[in-house]
């Protein structure tokens, strides 16, 4: 009897260890593909190809971001960055909003770096500002948007990205001062004892740029790379699986019926539809262009793209990996309200001009 109990306990421990290693995203992905193979093998194949291509496309950004985050941690440079932001939240929010709108990183690719900076003690407000602005625009997106929807639309979208980042950052700063966001970060992004706020003054926090020459720092680099890469990779792969299903079962004709010409509630609906129904920034360009050709206002298209960019499945799940429900809810509210206000402002501008 004692042997049976020991074996059951060992089995339970093994299952728990496997669950912690694989995590919910891997197991949910397996369940989804098993169901697809049973019900619609063709879609299972399409989803697998889509997920693989999406992961390969974003892999360079993930590797670069994970590498930078791990190097910052191993070299102690994360403390230097955190000290630069400490005490300057207003300036940090402005810089984060502009950098987020202009950088080539998508929000999901830069999450390891964001998590590392949060763990080093960088305030939540500028980080959330970056997470809002980053998925809306990047250099390649600007060129494609200008080509598909016109230079004015591309400039307005870029301006909206910066303004939404500023709006989110400063409002988050006000909320955080009340203590309402205390404990809103998950373990991967929580400030550690070496963070700026709790750093012992006797501890040397100067960066060691050639960290690879010290065995313990090199070990830290590889540990951080492996942990962050595996953690983010699982969630992004799961996000792309969900995105493939959305593309398959939410036809563009449905979106056209809701957001087409003649609907006085087009802008609010664009925000509501954009939050769950958005594909990705690149796929949205021809879709919105076609809707505008059918008579939809460019302002409605802007609201759809803004709301969808920030709340697309990969971007939202990337933020979910570091934020607890309270902070994640604030992220979604800021995305929806910013998209709505931007669309209404652009509509008023069009009428004036």
Q: Of 135, 165, 141, 167, which Cα lies nearest the Cα of 154?
A: 141
Q: Tell me the CB-side half-sphere exposure of residue 276, using CA atoms within 13 A.
A: 6
Is 196:120 a contact under the CB 8 Å cutoff? yes
Per-residue confidence in pLDDT tens, the chain, 353 aa: 666 556 656 666 665 666 666 777 888 899 999 999 999 999 999 999 999 998 888 788 778 777 887 887 788 776 666 666 666 788 889 988 888 888 766 555 566 667 766 776 778 888 888 888 888 887 777 887 888 888 999 999 999 999 999 999 999 999 988 888 888 877 666 665 444 444 444 445 677 888 898 999 899 899 988 887 887 788 778 878 877 887 788 665 666 666 665 667 888 888 887 766 555 666 677 767 877 876 778 999 899 889 888 877 667 777 887 888 888 999 889 989 999 999 999 999 988 87
What is the phi/psi pair of residue 138, to 5°? -150, 170
Signed CA dihedral, 122, 125, 126, 130: sign only: positive
Q: Of 131, 52, 140, which Cα lies nearest the Cα of 99?
A: 131
Query: How far from chain centre, in Å, is Cα 80?
Result: 24
pTM of the model: 0.67
Tell me the domain boundaries of the chain: 24-352
What is 270-316 written as a DSSP string?
A: HHHHHHHH---HHHHHHHHHHHHHTT--HHHHHHHHHHHHHHSHHHH
- What are 185's strand-pairing partners? 323
Contacts of 116 (CB under 8 A, 6+ apart): 69, 70, 72, 73, 78, 224, 228
The span from the CA of 71 to the CA of 208, in Å, is 10
Alpha-helix residue ranges (DSSP H) falling in 76-88: 77-85
Structure tokens, 254: 């449905």
């Amino acid at each position: 009897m004692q042997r049976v109990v020991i074996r059951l306990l060992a089995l339970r421990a093994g299952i728990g260890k496997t669950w912690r290693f694989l995590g919910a995203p891997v197991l949910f992905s397996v369940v989804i593909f098993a169901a697809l193979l049973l019900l619609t093998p063709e879609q299972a194949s399409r989803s697998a190809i889509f997920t693989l291509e999406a992961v390969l496309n974003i892999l360079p950004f993930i590797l670069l971001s994970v590498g930078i985050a791990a190097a910052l941690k191993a070299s102690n440079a994360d403390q230097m960055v955190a000290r630069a932001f400490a005490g300057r939240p207003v300036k940090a929010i402005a810089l984060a909003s502009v950098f987020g709108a202009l950088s080539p990183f998508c929000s999901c690719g830069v999450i390891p770096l964001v998590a590392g900076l949060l763990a080093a003690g960088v305030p939540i407000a500028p980080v959330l500002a970056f997470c809002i602005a980053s998925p809306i625009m990047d250099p390649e997106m600007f060129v494609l948007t200008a080509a598909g929807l016109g230079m004015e639309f591309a400039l307005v979208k870029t301006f909206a990205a910066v303004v939404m980042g500023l709006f989110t950052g400063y409002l988050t700063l006000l909320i955080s001062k009340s203590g309402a966001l205390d404990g809103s970060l998950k373990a991967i992004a929580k400030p550690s004892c070496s963070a700026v706020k709790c750093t012992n003054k006797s501890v040397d926090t100067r960066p060691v740029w050639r960290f690879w020459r010290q065995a313990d720092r090199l070990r830290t680099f590889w540990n951080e790379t492996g942990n962050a890469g595996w953690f983010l990779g699982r969630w992004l792969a799961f996000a792309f699986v969900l995105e493939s299903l959305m593309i398959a079962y939410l036809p563009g004709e449905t979106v056209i019926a809701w957001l087409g010409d003649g609907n006085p509630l087009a802008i609010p609906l664009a925000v509501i539809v954009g939050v769950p129904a958005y594909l990705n920034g690149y796929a949205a360009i021809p879709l919105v262009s076609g809707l505008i050709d059918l008579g939809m206002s460019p302002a409605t298209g802007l609201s759809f793209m803004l709301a969808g960019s920030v709340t697309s499945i990969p971007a939202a799940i990337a933020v979910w990996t570091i934020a607890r429900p309270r902070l994640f809810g604030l992220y979604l509210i800021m995305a929806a309200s910013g998209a709505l206000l931007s669309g209404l402002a652009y509509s008023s501008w069009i009428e004036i001009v």
